[in-house]
Amino acid sequence: MKPVIVWFRQDQRLADNPALSAAVQTGAPVLPLYVLDDETPGPWKMGGASRWWLHESLQELSRSLLEIGGSLVLRQGDARTVLAALADKVDAQGVFWNRCYEPFVVARDKRLKDELPGAQSFKGSLLFEPWEVRTGAGTPFKVFTPFWRAAKVLPEPERPLPAPTSLRGIGGVESDSLDDWGLLPQAPDWAGGLRAEWAPGEDGARKRLAAFLRRVEGYRDGRDRPGEQATSRLSPHLHFGEISPRQVWHAIRHREATGDGEKFLAELGWREFCHQLLFHHPELPSKPLDARFAPFPWRDDDAAFRRWTKGLTGVPIVDAGMRQLWQTGWMHNRVRMVVASYLIKHLGIDWRRGEAWFWDTLVDADLANNAAGWQWVAGSGADAAPFFRIFNPVLQGEKFDKKGDYVRRWVPEVAALSDKYVHRPWQAPADIRAGVKDYPEPLVDLADGRERALKAFRALPSS
């Protein structure tokens, strides 16, 4: 029989992989393929942290495929060109893949379906397709709560598919060497913190989910406290498709029902909402959804931006988050909102600069989530926080990191301060501040930064 090519993308797993399962069920030889396409995404080529994760994840996927009789082929270049050439070379009867929803991917995949014989795509990355959850008028939602309410009355997501136990492989097909792709940092090797924190791959994802299930009780409240291990940390595994949202959904849904579990499923719902937004608003990563914000007078302050990226703003909760990001490739979600609000509103710097920095440094950099999150904080997106809702980073720290455990871990310069001053070291008495070595004064007075932001917002057109 002619072989079937299974094109892996953001679905680097064997279990609950509809494209892989469908290919195996044909009974034909299966050619697993991954294409490193740095041309199609345009400015959204994978950042450094994502490329590190990709290397590790592909290694794990290759091992898993070998165990069931397959051999992962790696190719680099424009995916349309690579697929056409490979399909012709092996005389493939079809090319199967699971759908992704970035606008450049959607456009390319539509062309591939016209060009490749036997091309088929499957739902493997979301619980609901972006066109399945609609308002009563048949339009996409722009507010999360009614979106999620409508999604939950749809038929429950399908049960996850089992991983194939064997497949008919195909030999004699040349593959690139993963090491030759240069995905890992070399000089310097800045990935030590990532290696210590993460175990990319399907097995790592399963273990991460199992660990979360053991402590899901308390998630509703604990998820806001960055000093605690209360969140799932599944986001990079979900982005790279090492675990499917259906696997997570059913693991949570079919244990004892609790408010904590429901709250976590709503976070899966937010991921779905973000992908729906990107699908229906392809300019989400680059243009404000609310056109009033197009002329916003952003400040061009490179020095302040650099201090923000390095965690040297002089505001401990902000600096803790930015240092956690640099060392581990991840940041607690509550702190993501705080650091984003500080950049946008206290420093007056364009949200797109922050979005680009996150894109390069996050191991869970996801175009839909990243863009929607930054626009939410900026007040210019769908279901956005009003611009005049400005997070006070000191109050956020004192509320969600009461004992300063998170700040003390990531900003050791202030670790010796009492709880009273650990989030506001500039207000400590002079004799106490003398013990704070090598920590900068705040970049901006928080009250002045807030007033400047509100003044710029009030000057915007009302409609």
Q: Is 17 a catalytic residue?
A: no
Query: Is the separation of the CB atoms in 368 and 100 below 8 Å?
Result: no
Catalytic residue among 333, 398, 413, 426: 333
Query: Is the separation of the CB atoms in 97 and 121 below 8 Å?
Result: yes
Return d(Cα 274, Cα 282) in angstroms, integer. 11
Q: Is 131 a catalytic residue?
A: no
Query: Is the separation of the CB atoms in 321 and 310 below 8 Å?
Result: no
Burial per residue of 43-54, b for 16 or more beta-carbon CB atoms within 10 angstroms, e otherwise: ebebbbbbbbbb
Query: Is the separation of the CB atoms in 184 and 207 below 8 Å?
Result: no
Catalytic residue among 97, 357, 374, 410: 374
Catalytic residue among 39, 228, 267, 413: 267
Q: Is 267 a catalytic residue?
A: yes
Distances (CA, A) of 100 to 8, 130, 240, 241, 409: 11, 11, 11, 11, 37
Return d(Cα 213, Cα 255) in angstroms, integer. 9
Catalytic residue among 181, 298, 326, 426: 298
Name the pairing type of β-strands 119-122 and 94-98. Answer: parallel
Q: Is 298 a catalytic residue?
A: yes
CB count in 10 Å sphere of residue 97? 25
Angle between helices 202-213 and 48-67 (to 10 degrees): 100
Return d(Cα 112, Cα 446) in angstroms, integer. 52
Q: Is 369 a catalytic residue?
A: no
Q: Is 44 a catalytic residue?
A: no
Catalytic residue among 53, 270, 330, 359: 270
Q: Which residues are identified as catalytic?
A: 267, 270, 298, 333, 351, 374
